[in-house]
């Protein structure tokens, strides 16, 4: 059975992950892998096409 997650919820999770994880630790926590670089992080998360989420 698939679980449906709203876009707002995903954005909130990515924002929290981006705030909690910095440097080499980025994306290694709890199966969420937001792809953020120093160049793209000031851009709002909903405008970043490079973000990918892997849910385990």
CA distance 46 to 7: 9
What's the token pair of residue 30? 């709890």
Burial of 54 (0-12, 13-18, 19+ CB in 10 A): exposed
pLDDT top residue among 54 and 33:
54
Q: What is the pTM of this model?
A: 0.27
Q: What is the pLDDT of residues 7-41, one digit of tens each?
A: 777 777 777 776 665 555 544 445 555 555 555 45
């Amino acid at each position: 059975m698939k679980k449906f997650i709203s876009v707002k919820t995903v954005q909130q999770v990515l924002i929290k992950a981006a705030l909690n994880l910095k440097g080499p630790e980025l994306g290694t926590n709890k199966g969420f892998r937001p792809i953020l670089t120093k160049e793209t992080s000031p851009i709002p998360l909903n405008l970043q096409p490079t973000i990918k989420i892997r849910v385990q």
